[in-house]
Every structure is written in structure tokens, then in C-alpha cells.
Chains A and B, each alone.
Chain A
Amino acid sequence: MRDFLPGLIVGVIFGAGLVVSDMVNPARVQAFLDVFGNWDPTLMFVMGAALIPSAIGYLLRRRMTRPLLGKQFFIPTSRTVNRPLLLGAALFGIGWGLVGFCPGPAIAGLVLGAWQPWLFVAAMLVGMGLHRLLSASRPSALRFEG
């Protein structure tokens, strides 16, 4: 419960933000990505605004020795831009563009009446499982670097 509750509260706020900003609507997301068509700037405003409290959080974190409910901060320290990072991001972008779902909106969308998020999330978990299997058999090719 000590771990579950903060996760739950943060998830609720995140999910609320996705619905308020209409990011749960793949048509809206694809319209942002369609820069050569009838472009919709909504995602730009959402992401720009999200960066403000997020950046304030990282600035506040510098004045803290540990998080309010934990013993230490877990922030990735690697600065190496490598092949798995770029290849993974490129594959993710293709999937994102194909239907307009990324992980957050797809999971939030599970309860909003459409059936498609269920199929998408199921396939996404299979994709994550495939990565886990492949990285177990070929650890050098699919190196995990937080």
C-alpha cells in the first residue's frame, strides 16, 4: 500500500490530464503528426505545458537529498545516444503514427468505451514480451541502458 497509493494517485492525475487534453483520441494525435495535411497543434500545447511542472520537479529535486516517501532518487544517468535507443524510438514512432496510440493514452483509453485500445494494449504487451525474450537470448544486441 505504501508503494501502491502514490502510484495510484499519480496515475489518476496523469489519466485526467490525458482526457482533459483529448490525447486519448488517436484521431487528435494523428492530426498533430499530419504536418503536411490538416495539422492540429493540440499535442504541442499539451507537451509544452507538461514540461513546465515536470521541469520544476527536477529543479526542486536538486534541493532534496531524497524523495518525500523514499530513500533515494532513481534518475537515469546514461548520456550515451546509441543504436538501441534510436532504433527503438524509430520503431515506436512508426507504431505511434500508424494508429495514433502511445502507451499512456492506450491504457487510459481502456475504459472509455472503445474496444480498440484493448487489442492495441494486448499487442503492445506481446511486443514488450518479445523484447524481453530477445534481450535474454541476445543481450549484447539489445542492451538495456536506463
Chain B
Amino acid sequence: MEPVTPLVAVAGGLLIGTAAALLLLLTGRIAGVSGLAATATRLSAGGTPRSQATGFIVGLPLGAALTALFIRTPEVAVTSSVPLLILAGLLVGFGTRLGNGCTSGHGVCGIARLSPRSLAATATFMASAVATVFILRHVIGG
């Protein structure tokens, strides 16, 4: 895996943060992907209008595809097995609804406004993800 230079990583991060700020200033809503995905698929009666959530969920892969075509071709390297992908998907879906957010809603939007709930949630999911990878790679994986 080629290293990503910090400058490129920062450029990508600025785009993500700009998107979050734009959604807030244009529509007054939080750019949380898990919540918007749940609203778009009618799995949540979240406050965001469904067409706006749907627009976002359609735009996300569209922006990814356009960038992949014209700027850089990303690698999506997944080594996980089918059962692991299913288990992880279930945990991410259930956990983000129970905890009201994911990396974007709590991480990018919540921390930016210094929300105590988002700070606590981000610290928790970072810690549990680091612990999971540790067990996966250094305890089980050896």
C-alpha cells in the first residue's frame, strides 16, 4: 500500500469538512452519514427531509466515482471474509443508530462544535476499533 502524503490527506479532509460546513450553512443539518443513510432508506424518522438525505446518499458514490475517474484511482483492498463483512455491517448499522452517529456525525461535525456527547462517542469508537484491530492482528492473528 503506497503511503498517502500528509498534504493529499489534508486536501481530502478539507473537502470532507467543507461538505459538512456546506450542509450546515445551506440546510441547517448535520452531515452524519449513518443518520442520512437511515433516513434515505426509511429506517429512521430522522428530521432531515428524505429527499435531501437521498440526494446526499446518491451524491456520495457519485463524487467518489467522478474522483476515481478524473483525479486518482483508489484501491479498495478488503481482505475480510464474508461472515466477517456481515458481522461488521450489522455492528456498524446497529451501533451507529444506538449511538446516534458515526465517524462523520460525531467525529467531524460533533467534535467541531465541541459536543460532549460526540467527544465521548468518538473516544469510545476509536478505542474499541483500536482494541478490535489489536485482537484481530496481534492476539488472534499472532
The residues of A with any CB-CB pair to B shorter than 8 Å are 1, 3-28, 30-31, 33-37, 40-43, 45-58, 60-61, 64, 66-76, 78-81, 84-104, 106-114, 116-117, 119-132, 135, 142, 144-146
8 nearest A-B pairs in the assembled complex, by CB-CB distance: A11-B59, A127-B93, A88-B99, A21-B12, A123-B89, A7-B55, A57-B21, A49-B13
- Contacting residues of chain B (20-72) with chain A, CB-CB under 8 angstroms: 20-31, 33-34, 36-38, 41, 43-44, 47-49, 51-68, 71-72
- For this complex, 18 residue pairs linking A to B, each with C-beta atoms less than 8 Å apart, are A1-B51, A3-B52, A7-B55, A9-B55, A13-B22, A17-B18, A33-B129, A36-B134, A37-B137, A42-B4, A67-B24, A85-B121, A86-B124, A92-B91, A107-B37, A107-B61, A130-B90, A132-B43
B99 touches A12 (CB 8 A): no
A57 vs B111: C-alpha distance in the bound complex, in angstroms? Answer: 12
CB of B85 within 8 A of CB of A108, answer no
B residues near A (Cβ < 8 Å) are: 1, 3-4, 6, 8-31, 33-34, 36-38, 41, 43-44, 47-49, 51-68, 71-72, 74-80, 82, 84-100, 102-104, 106-109, 111-113, 115-117, 120-122, 124-134, 136-138
Q: Could you tell me if A85 and B99 are in contact, using CB atoms closer than 8 angstroms?
A: yes
Chain A interface mostly: helix
Tell me which residues across on chain A come within 8 A of B33, comparing CB atoms: 14, 102-104, 107
B95 adjacent to A127 (CB under 8 Å): yes
Chain A residues lying within 8 Å of B120, measured Cβ to Cβ, are: 81, 85-86, 89
Instruction: Say how far A35's CB is from chain B's closest CB, in angstroms.
Output: 6
Q: 14 new A-B pairs (CB below 8 Å) besides A49-B12, A103-B37? A: A3-B27, A10-B56, A16-B67, A45-B9, A49-B13, A57-B22, A66-B28, A76-B115, A79-B115, A89-B120, A96-B92, A97-B129, A128-B44, A130-B94
B23 to chain A: which residues have CB within 8 Å?
A: 6-7, 10
Asked whether A90 lies within 8 Å of B124 as measured between CB atoms, the reply is yes
* B12, B88, B96 pick with most chain A CB within 10 angstroms: B88
Return chain B residues, CB-CB under 8 Å to A54. Answer: 17, 20-21, 108-109, 112
